[in-house]
Amino acid sequence: MENFWNQYGAEILLKTWEHLYISFSAVFLGMIVAIPLGAWLTRLKKGSEMIINIVGFLQTIPSLALLSIMVPLFGIGKVPAIVALFLYSLLPILRNTYVGIRSVNATYLDAAKGMGMSKWQRLLQIEFPLASSVIISGIKVSAVYVISWTTLAAYIGAGGLGDFIFNGLTLYRLDLIMMGTIPITLLALLTNLLLTQVEARLSVERGG
C-alpha cells in the first residue's frame, strides 16, 4: 500500500483536483444561468414549459457526442469539457427553481404585496428563501450527475480521474480503472451527502 501511494499518490491528488475543478465549474455556471432563468420563467404567462423542454433536449444528446461537438468550437482541454457539462447541469437546477418558486404559497405573496413589497423584494425575500430547499435538491442532482459525467472529459484531454479509467481500459489494467472509479464514486457520494444535509436544514428552517 505504501509503495502504491508513493507511486501514484501525487497523481491521484492532481487528477482529483482536476475532476473537482471541471465538475464544480460546470455546476457553478449552471447555477448562475439556471436559477435566474427559472425565476424569470415563473413570470412568463406562456412558453415556460417549452423553454424547459428545450433545455431538457440537451440532456438527450449522448455525452461523448456533445463533448466531440465542443472540440471544433473550443479546442481540446478543460474549456470544452466545462461548457458541455454546464449544458448538462442546467435542467435539474432550472426545473427545480421553477417548481420551487411556483409552489410558494400565494398567501405569503399576498401578505408581502400588502406590506408594499415590490416584485423584486418578494422574489428575493419571500420566494427564493421558501423555495431554497427545492432549488438545493436540483443542484444536488445536477452535481452528482456532473461528477459522474466528468469522467468522459478525459476523452478530449481535459484530465481528471477519467484519465485513469481510459488508461486502464487501454492497458487492460484493473488497478488503474479502480484508481479512477473509486474516487469518483466517493466524490459523488460525499457531494450528495453534503447537499442532502443542506437541503434538510433549509427544509426544517422554512417549515418544510
Residue 82 is assigned to a structural domain of this protein: yes
pLDDT band at 59 (very low <50, low <70, confident <90, very high): confident
CATH number, domain containing residue 93: 1.10.3720.10
123-155 b/e with 16+ CB inside 10 Å = b?
A: beebbbebbbbbbbbbbbbbbbbbbebbbbbbb
pLDDT of residue 191: 95
**How many structural domains are present in the chain?**
1
Would you say residue 138 lies in a domain? yes
pLDDT class for 181, splitting at 50, 70, 90?
A: very high
207 band by pLDDT with thresholds 50, 70 and 90? low
Q: Does the residue 79 lie in any domain?
A: yes
Whether 205 shows a pLDDT value over 70: the answer reads no
pLDDT of 19 reads 96
pLDDT of residue 206 exceeding 70: no
List, in sequence order, the alpha helices (H) in 46-158: 48-58, 63-74, 78-102, 106-114, 119-122, 128-149
Asked whether residue 123 is domain-assigned, the answer is yes
Cell of 208: 418544510
Find the domain containing 76 and state its range: 7-158+165-205
Looking at the domain assignment, is residue 1 inside a domain? Answer: no
Tell me if 71 is assigned to some domain: yes
Asked whether residue 51 is assigned to any structural domain, the reply reads: yes
What is the reported pTM?
0.90
pLDDT at 1: 56
- Within a domain: 27: yes
